[in-house]
Structure 1
Amino acid sequence: MKFENTGIENLKADLNRLDELMLDYGLVREGQWDYERVTYDKKLVIKEGTYYLRVQGYAHEGDVGAHKAIIQLMTPLLGKHYYPHGMEYGEGEHFPKSLVNQCEKLLKEVKAEIEKFAI
């Protein structure tokens, strides 16, 4: 499921600042990057299953591996994890309303914080 029109997709920010902020909200990058892209994930386990809120971005300038990059953020996603097959984001998936509301609230807070240092 895509979280359209959050405004996050319009933001560019310094990678190091993003890493710190996202971690404060439980969105972890860990090894999910290459030299041009980043992915921040928050694992959400509820009785209906395991879900991941995902915020991705790409290097607008610089190099992620060198920790010197300006990241253009993309539209946030919510996916359901199916072991061992992976993530499903599709239209046919059921996403509990309480989970969607929780994610929307978190994304709104994250956006407000990123705007303070966005480029």
Structure 2
Amino acid sequence: MKFENTNLENHVLNVNLLTEIMEELGFVLAGQWDYERVTYDYKFEQRNEIYYLRVQGFAVEGHVESSKGKIQLLTPLLGKYYYPHGVEYGEGENFPESIVDKSKELLKKAEEQISLVSKFIIL
């Protein structure tokens, strides 16, 4: 499930600031990063099922591991985990309303924090 119109995809932010904001909201910098891409995951567990709210980005300047790296955010995704295959984001997936609502709340808070920081920092 894609979360369109969150305004997150309009932001470019220093990787260290972005990581700090996302971790304060409970996201984890997932192990799927490389020099050019970064992924922040928020894990939901409900009735023996696992869901992930995923915020991804890519380096537009520098590298992910660099303190000067700048990250362009992408459209956030919500996916369901299937063992052993991984996370599915397909339109055919059904997500509990409580998880969708919590995801929207987290994304709104992230956008507010990123917008606030962006006003005071010249990239």
Range into which the TM-score falls when normalised by the shorter chain: over 0.9
Instruction: Count matched residues.
Output: 119
Paired residue type of 1:77: L
Structure 2 residue aligned with 1:101: 101
What is the CA-CA distance between 1:92 and the residue it aligns to? 1.0
5+ residue gaps, structure 1, are: none
| Residue number in structure 1 paired with 2:36 | 36
Q: Does 1:10 align with 2:10?
A: yes
Distance in 1 between the 2:91 and 2:18 partners? Answer: 29
Letter matched to residue 35 of structure 2: Y
Residues 40-59 of structure 1 show CA distances to partners (whole Å, capped at 9, x for unaligned) of 00110011610000000000
* Residue deviations 1:55-112 (CA, integer Å, cap 9, x gap): 0000011111223211000000000000100011101110111110110011001100
Where 1:31 maps in the other structure, the secondary structure is coil
Whether the 8 Å contact between 1:6 and 1:108 is mirrored in structure 2 is yes
Provide the TM-score with structure 2 as the length reference.
Answer: 0.92
Q: CA deviation at 1:32?
A: 2.5
Matched, 1:26 2:26: yes
Matched, 1:82 2:94: no
Q: RMSD across aligned C-alpha pairs, in angstroms?
A: 1.2
Aligned to 2:49: 49
Q: What's the TM-score once normalised by structure 1's chain length?
A: 0.95
Deviation of 1:116 (Å): 1.4
Counterpart of 1:88, as a letter, is E
Tell me: higher relative CO, structure 1 or 2? Use CA pairs within 8 A at least 6 residues apart. 1
- What code does the residue aligned with 2:44 have? L
* Distance in 1 (alpha carbons) for counterparts of 2:25 and 2:32: 17
Task: Give the secondary-structure state (helix, strand or coil) at the position aligned to 1:66.
Answer: coil
Using the aligned pairs only, state the percent identity.
55
The Cα of 1:26 is off from its aligned counterpart by 1.1
